[in-house]
Amino acid sequence: MHRTKVRIVEDALDANNTIARANREDFDRAGVSVINLMSAPGAGKTALLERALAGLSNEGVRVGVLEGDVAGSFDADRLADLHIPVMQLNTDNGFGGECHLDANMVRTALGTLPLAELDVLIIENVGNLVCPAEFSVGADARIMVCSVTEGEDKPLKYPLMFRACELVIVNKIDLLAHLDYDIDRLEANIAQVNPKATTMQVSARTGEGVDAFRRWIIGVPARAKAPA
Amino acid sequence: MHRTKVRIVEDALDANNTIARANREDFDRAGVSVINLMSAPGAGKTALLERALAGLSNEGVRVGVLEGDVAGSFDADRLADLHIPVMQLNTDNGFGGECHLDANMVRTALGTLPLAELDVLIIENVGNLVCPAEFSVGADARIMVCSVTEGEDKPLKYPLMFRACELVIVNKIDLLAHLDYDIDRLEANIAQVNPKATTMQVSARTGEGVDAFRRWIIGVPARAKAPA
């Protein structure tokens, strides 16, 4: 059973990469920079977006969000208040309740997104620290949100996710005073698995540190166009 | 691609159920009751076990733990202090970095577990709110831990996991005073997707409520033997 399974997963990933490249070509043609935003369930991806995206159009950056969830449109409903294009993609409708977004699911949603009116598209992935890291969706940048309530050991227990991301946002720092949590140990663990990662400490609840993340989003199009 | 994928997943699940039944027969022969313990990453499964299992042998219940993680033996190392049999199973060694434990992985570990010396085996699954719910490992009971820091919406966003469990443990209630969290709304959301679920509110950090969970574990063998 095991050998067969490994072979199937490799085939699926190859197909995924083919479709991810097609997505990238469409994004490039439309001049849209794309962020794949990942985290464990409840780490605060949506709360962070609520804070960071408010008023971003005043900065000359037009942003849209593709919300991925197994079920429901709770996150899309929250972001609708921001008056930006938000599209909900449920993985249990026709996708079998998948634990991640893959390139084909994103491609399925492309026709519903006003790409010509966007500078940045943020794809909020399904809350999961394992599977989303394995599936390219055609993004320019990968971000993960890591909550201080999850413990300092997560980079060592889920190394692939931490390695897959250029930016690690450490959220819920407003709770640090109430936790037995060593944020320096977290930073050391992140550095151990991904020395190149940038980290930001934020509280989506109080807004502390969110401005740095907002500036990072604003800078994504310029960085995507810069020669590597 | 999509049709092919669905068919493959069904085949894999069938094979999994066959192996899960074999596991159950082995557990039954050894007289061991088995708990499949699941949660999102960082919800506090290991901390809860540290609290609940300490001194359990004095209650006449011999418990062992099978720790499932993508990488590392951090959780097994923590539980080793309890002087109970603890076995670490890493899904990135030969299993391709799987996001869940399946029946075959558990079966692979069976030979290393002293089943004859146990009354209860707790299988701590990989932290993930989606995939572990889809794979039977041959357990008598399924528990999930849900942290109050994850938000009240999780039962509606990850309904399969909440439906798959008889007991939902709401952890980290010591933090309630510092969160904008409506625990009654969580309970209502759990009741909406799984009206039969038992819930317990605990703090693995302070120990509040953990005694009820400990008594629940002690009762597992009797409940497993009772006619349905």
Write the residue in B5, B104, B156 that is nearest to A72 by C-beta.
B156
Contact between A121 and A65 (Cβ < 8 Å): yes
Across the interface, whether the CB atoms of A127 and B157 are under 8 A apart is answered: yes
pLDDT in tens, B188-204: 999 999 999 999 999 99
Whole-angstrom distance, CA of residue A186 vs CA of residue A180:
12
**Chain A residues whose beta carbon lies within 8 Å of the beta carbon of residue B131:** 99, 128, 130-131
**Chain B residues whose beta carbon lies within 8 Å of the beta carbon of residue A147:** 42, 149
B67 forms beta bridges with: B88, B124
Whole-angstrom distance, CA of residue A40 vs CA of residue A145:
8
Predicted complex ipTM: 0.88
Contact between A106 and A50 (Cβ < 8 Å): no
Please identify among residues 27-86 of chain B the ones whose CB lies closer than 8 Å to any CB of chain A.
40-42, 69-72, 74
Whole-angstrom distance, CA of residue A91 vs CA of residue A69:
6
* pLDDT category of residue B3 using cuts at 50, 70 and 90: very low
Distances (CA, A) of A99 to B36, B42, B131, B133, B210: 19, 18, 7, 11, 31
Q: Structure pTM? A: 0.91
Write the residue in B1, B126, B180 that is nearest to A15 by C-beta.
B1
**Chain B residues whose beta carbon lies within 8 Å of the beta carbon of residue A129:** 41, 127-128
Q: Residues 6 or more apart from A111 whose CB is under 8 A from it? A: none
Whole-angstrom distance, CA of residue B7 vs CA of residue A11:
14
What pLDDT tens digit does each residue of chain A (228 aa) get?
Answer: 344 444 455 556 689 999 999 999 999 999 999 999 999 999 999 999 999 999 788 888 999 999 999 999 999 999 988 999 999 999 987 777 889 999 999 999 999 999 999 999 999 999 999 999 999 999 999 999 999 999 999 999 999 999 999 999 999 999 999 999 999 999 999 999 999 999 999 999 999 999 999 999 999 888 877 765
Q: What SS3 state is found at B158?
A: coil
Query: CB B10: neighbour CB atoms within 10 A?
Result: 11
